[in-house]
Structure 1
Amino acid sequence: MKNFKFGLLSAMALSLVLFSCSKDEETQPEETNPTANLTKEVPQHLMDVLEEMEMNTNFVRYGDFHFPDGSTEERIFVEEDVVLTEDQILDIGKQLDEAPGDRQYRTFNLVSQGRNISIIGYTGGSQALSSKARTALQWAVNNYNRLSGVSISFTLTFGTNYQSKDMVVYDNSINNPGGAGGSAGFPSNGLPYKFVQIYNLDGYSTNVNEHVITHEIGHSVGFRHTDWFSRQSCGQNVNEGSGSVGAVHVNGTPTGYDSSSIMLACFSSGASGEFNSNDITALNNMY
């Protein structure tokens, strides 16, 4: 069975709070953003904030972020599938300075409790979701909505009028010819990250599509990679950071490797698309 990275463009158990690939015996080589600006270095003061957030700074670069309407904006890609603007990183840095400690930082990166999140599956033009991806998105939303005791919920529609929605899910394969996975970002100001991309998943099962979308929505509502400390699901042994603030362990979940979490850094071609019991515990603890 092969495992794939939610790449740079390809991407809850121990589920660590913050703002989602696949591995087994074989691991797909790390994908690279075809529009990445590899000559422009991310400034050290931004890297310092990312390190304090306990993000893996081996996977940080500028790249063109593509919106559903075809427009682009330069953003910073972290850990291959997490997308941030410079201002977002600076805002998080300010929050860390003003309110150090796990509780404040965790709260800053969560969606407001009790919020009903409006989410739309994009159906227009070259970035429309396929029929399979639309089904997978419905299954992913069901994963969240069926959980009892979780205060956030989702209302799903399909169409092109995404501007007023809290979150839009769209297929950006046209701008990512290599690799398969998705990308998303962190919540801010009590709102989820708006733009959830998937790409090159048509060759995979509906369950794998469901897995990737559920994973990226997980980032958007405040969860980071379960194996942040090792990236073991990718066949690596890389600690993504050991700062004092960014990776907040969720009570009741393991502190070691959880091989079936939906928030692993890499996904398997045999992924079921479902939360495991630790993912559910994490969601219940956070929301």
Structure 2
Amino acid sequence: MKFNRVLVFAFMAASFSLTSCQNEEEVTSSSEISEQTINAIKTMGFSTQNVQRAEGGYLVEGDIILKESDLRDAGKVQALRVGEAEQYRTTNLVTGLPRVITVSVDPKLPASYVAAVDEALARYNAEGIQLTFQRVTSGASINLVAAPKNAQYLASAGFPTSAGQPHNEVKIATRHIGTNPNRSWLATILAHEIGHCIGFRHTDYMDRSYSCGGGYTNEGASTVGAIQVPGTPASADPNSWMLACIGSGQNRPFNTNDKTALGYLY
């Protein structure tokens, strides 16, 4: 089965039959979500297709969690121009640089996941940015936990808070990923979700069909919370770690444009 998210790398980020960046406990149809909520999601610049209720808020674009507090602040975000396939960041970023971001792995996750987590963190640390990632056993800035058993995604995460803190949780659907997955594939998924936690959106934000397949998906001409990172290309980028979807077993280390985006923001 092909998964469309790298995060969607696993839906988020990316996802195919499942999204690689989702974290949903109770899945409901978008028709059960109020028009006010749908409008707030649209105002923030996110796709309103297949919105699902999730633990703590709403799951959008396959692997991104929006909390009720995010939706209440929807009208406070500046309007942004529409781009094509550049790297994008959210309005909020992690502050207090230079800074160590600690990451923990829930003991309920398969022991084999630890090596993939270490690989994902090593990818970031190799870039020499002002965020250093360190795995710890407790009290972490970002906690990697098991997703609900009925999760219809590979993994999911949210975005930094208005106070400049990284999103504190990545949920991983072990029933879809398996207990002993390809290490580099899982490292890519986790690096993608951590990318969301520190403020990155999907590289194919303007057309998720680029990595996920299916029909053309454009989020509309008036967007917020998706700011192009200067220095990244306006043309398609087929290998970015922040593409919305990822194929099973695929490895996407940071490419040149990804490195540019990481270096510019951090």
TM-score band w.r.t. shorter chain: 0.7 to 0.9
Distance 1:87 1:215, change over 3 A: same
User: Amino acid of the residue matched to residue 182 of structure 1?
Assistant: A
Distance 1:115 1:44, change over 3 A: farther
CA contact (8 A) 2:90 2:226 kept: no
Distance 1:76 1:225, change over 3 A: same
Structure 2: which 5+ residue stretches go unaligned? 81-88
Q: Tell whether 2:213 aligns with 1:235.
A: yes
Q: Using the alignment, how far apart are the partners of 1:79 and 1:217 within structure 2?
A: 16
Q: TM-score under structure 1 normalisation?
A: 0.76
Q: Tell whether 2:149 aligns with 1:174.
A: yes
Partner of 1:14: none
Match of 1:28 among 1, 8, 17: 17
Partner of 1:4: 4
Alignment of 1:37-186 (within 5 A): 37-38=28-29, 41-63=32-54, 65=55, 74-91=56-73, 93-96=74-77, 100=78, 108-112=91-95, 113-123=97-107, 128-148=108-128, 150-158=129-137, 161=138, 164-172=139-147, 174-176=149-151, 180-186=153-159
CA contact (8 A) 2:13 2:202 kept: yes
Structure 1: which 5+ residue stretches go unaligned? 12-18, 66-73
Distance 1:214 1:51, change over 3 A: same
Deviations 1:112-165 (A, max 9, x none): 132211211111xxxx221221110111111111112x211212113xx4xx32
User: Amino acid of the residue matched to residue 53 of structure 1?
Assistant: M
Q: Using the alignment, how far apart are the partners of 1:174 and 1:78 within structure 2?
A: 19
Distance 1:234 1:107, change over 3 A: closer
Q: Using the alignment, how far apart are the partners of 2:91 and 2:171 within structure 1?
A: 23
Q: CA deviation at 1:107?
A: 7.5
CA contact (8 A) 1:108 1:190 kept: no
Distance 1:107 1:212, change over 3 A: closer
Name the % identity. 31
Q: TM-score under structure 2 normalisation?
A: 0.82
Superposed CA RMSD in Å reads 2.8
Distance 1:201 1:257, change over 3 A: same
Distance 1:247 1:62, change over 3 A: same
Deviations 1:81-125 (A, max 9, x none): 11121112213x2532xxx356xxx684101132211211111xx
